[in-house]
Chain A
Amino acid sequence: MKYFIKSLAVLVCIFMIGCASKRQPYDYTAFKNSRPKSILILPPINNTVDVKGTYSFYSNASKPLGEAGYYVFPISMVDELFKENGYTNPNDIHSIPSGKLREIFQADVALYLVIKDFGTKYSVVSSATVVTVEGTLVDLKSGSTIWSGKATASSEEGKDNNQGLAVAMLSAIINQVASNFIDQGHKIGKITSQRLLSGGVNDGVLFGPRHSLYMTESK
């Protein structure tokens, strides 16, 4: 019986250590000083040739932050307001002073997104869809950056690279014939968005006030 309890304790310990995230130390001082409740996501700057990337990724950005426990401003309204005031280019939007954004939206922080990769790169035997995005959170009261991160996702992850040539070419053709509307970039972008903006991931955003793990992070 004693041996059984000891071995159980050891097993539980092993799993607890395994489950605990092995985090690189990220300096969350500024984030903790800010403790935002609400996030204004600005239309992303798109540095790729696929223009669909802008609103595709924009549409996928709210969910992980909402689930992390923040209020996320309705992006369709935000976008409409900018357009009605002559701001159609995200580069111009990103240049608006933080004080002005604070005055209009009364949000605690703004999320600045820059899309570095969006879309499908074709070769003879593969077509990889990659979405890479950088994000920065700026406290609108102080104008200071409280967090920044970068994430990527690819359709080729976990794929079997030992396929025969014929199978590989067939897969490439099938992948190329993606639905025009909800396309691969949009689907892969959801993964990128989750990796970039979810609460509790390595070097990710801290949980917000609506989440049960708010303010539970270790010093």
Chain B
Amino acid sequence: MNKNIKFCLLISLIYFTGCASGPKPLYSWGDYEDQVYSYFSGGPIEKQILDLEKHAEKTKAAGLALPPGFQAHLGLLYSKVGRDDKFAQQLDIEKSNFPEVIPFFENIANKFKKK
């Protein structure tokens, strides 16, 4: 009986753990939220670019997905330092991963080009 009770508890523990942990995250966020806050707070853009690029590389190497808006935000940062080609490239990646944004990008096509 003792052995059976122990087995019951083990099964219950495994089940309960499964209940509590939940599904895997959809995206690899890193410190993206804080990078965006740094941008809004007037932090140094070149450093934000480097940090975000590093996170993008790590995410890609791990076979994970970058969050919605990540590529677009990085694109915006590129446009702020005059790298228009990288800006366009980032927007293309965002559009291919998240077609929901295509109409918006078409509406603002030439908005951020010259800064």
Contact = CB atoms under 8 A, between A and B. Distances in A.
A4 B3 CA distance: 10
A165 interface: no
B76 A8 contact: no
A181 B41 contact: yes
Main secondary structure of the interface of B (DSSP, over half): helix
Interface residues of A, number: 47
B112 to A, nearest CB: 7
Given A59-B34, A71-B100, A77-B76, A15 B16 contact: yes
Contact of A62 (B40, B69, B98): B69
Interface string A203-219: 00000001111000000
Contact of B76 (A76, A106, A213): A76
Given A15-B16, A104-B107, A63 B33 contact: yes
Interface residues of B, number: 41
Contacts of B67: 62-63, 66
B25 A73 contact: no
Contacts of B69: 62, 66, 72-75, 77
Contact of A11 (B8, B29, B40, B72): B8
A76 B40 contact: yes
B76 A80 contact: yes
A82 B32 CA distance: 22
A59 B36 contact: yes
Given A59-B36, A71-B68, A19 B73 contact: no
Contact of B40 (A18, A59, A71): A59
Given A7-B8, A55-B41, A66-B67, A73 B15 contact: no
Contacts of B112: 77, 80
Contacts of B5: 7
Interface in A31-73: 37-38, 52, 55-56, 58-60, 62-63, 66-67, 69-73
Nearest to B13: A15
Interface of A: 3-4, 7-8, 11-12, 14-15, 18-19, 37-38, 52, 55-56, 58-60, 62-63, 66-67, 69-77, 79-81, 84, 104-107, 181-182, 186, 190, 210-213
15 contacts: A4-B8, A11-B12, A15-B15, A52-B41, A58-B40, A59-B34, A62-B69, A63-B32, A63-B33, A72-B69, A74-B73, A77-B108, A77-B112, A81-B108, A106-B107
Interface of B: 4-5, 7-9, 11-12, 15-16, 19, 23, 25-27, 29, 32-34, 36-41, 67-70, 72-73, 76, 94, 98, 100-101, 103-104, 107-108, 111-112
